[in-house]
Amino acid sequence: MPILVLLLVAGVVEIAVLVALGQLIGVLPTIGLLLAAAVLGSWLLRREGRRALREFREAARERRPPERELTDGVLIAAGGLLIILPGFISDVCGLLCLLPPTRALLRKRLMRAAQRRSKEMQDQVWLHAQRARREQGSAGPGSDVIDGEVVSVTDDDEHTPDSGPQQLPPQRSAQAERSDEQPRR
């Protein structure tokens, strides 16, 4: 629901900016600016997308993690999406994602946010594991107990080295046991 409200507010703001700019400089110059931003954005998108793909291939060839290249790719894709949307605010945000200097700043912020989120998730997993261990330790019957049966070995059943190998009773197959039973109908 918050995303829907955010999109609705962004749409209203974009329309308000277009109307205000249209009244200020005229309708045709406003449309011209929108087209110029779209052309510039598509050119930058193509150029920076190729560069990001080339850098990604280079990172793969060097066998190093492509963190920077992937983040650039995400920012370039987001910039392209924002350029496609009509409106000046989305075009400006898209151009900021496509220009290398501003993309570097955005990349650093994204990486810091991702590292912070990763640390929070690791802490939550650790706390959950500790809580589970505590609960399992106090669970009693469900904690590391294996149900079984103790069998007592008497002296006549024990194998002594002097008595030779122990003889086991002959085993009957499951098929032989079934043949002894009455046929089921």
Query: Is residue 150 included in any domain, yes or no?
Result: no
Greater confidence (165 vs 42) lies with 42
Query: Is residue 170 included in any domain, yes or no?
Result: no
What integer pLDDT is reported at residue 166 of this predicted model? 58
What integer pLDDT is reported at residue 177 of this predicted model? 52
Query: Is residue 163 included in any domain, yes or no?
Result: no
Q: What value does the mean pLDDT take over residues 34-41?
A: 89
Long-range Cβ contacts of 43-48 (<8 Å, 24+ apart): 44/79, 44/95, 44/98, 44/99, 45/76, 45/79, 45/80, 45/83, 45/98, 48/72, 48/76, 48/79, 48/98, 48/100, 48/103
DSSP category for residue 35: H
For 70-103, what is each residue's pLDDT tens digit? Answer: 999 999 999 999 988 888 999 999 999 999 999 9
What integer pLDDT is reported at residue 133 of this predicted model? 83
Tell me how many degrees the CA angle 10-12-17 measures, rounded to the nearest 5: 95
Query: Is residue 52 included in any domain, yes or no?
Result: yes
Work out the pLDDT band at 183, boundaries 50, 70, 90: low
Query: Is residue 90 included in any domain, yes or no?
Result: yes
What integer pLDDT is reported at residue 144 of this predicted model? 57
pLDDT higher than 90, residue 55: yes
DSSP category for residue 142: T
Q: How many domains does the chain contain in total?
A: 1
Question: How far is Cα of residue 124 from the mean position of the Cα atoms in its chain?
Answer: 16
What integer pLDDT is reported at residue 32 of this predicted model? 92
Distance CA 27, CA 116 (A): 46
DSSP-based three-state secondary structure for 88? helix
Distance CA 18, CA 89 (A): 9
Q: What value does the mean pLDDT take over residues 43-50?
A: 92
User: Nearest to residue 70, comparing CAs of 62, 79, 59, 81?
Assistant: 59
DSSP category for residue 168: P
Question: What stretch of H or E contains 183?
Answer: none
Work out the pLDDT band at 62, boundaries 50, 70, 90: very high
Query: Is residue 84 included in any domain, yes or no?
Result: yes
What integer pLDDT is reported at residue 107 of this predicted model? 92
Distance CA 56, CA 115 (A): 21
**CB of 67 within 8 A of CB of 55?**
no
- Look over the chain and give the mean of its residue pLDDT values, rounded to a whole number: 82
- Please report, rounded to a whole number, the percentage of residues in the chain having pLDDT higher than 70: 77
- Domain extent, residue 85, equals 12-136
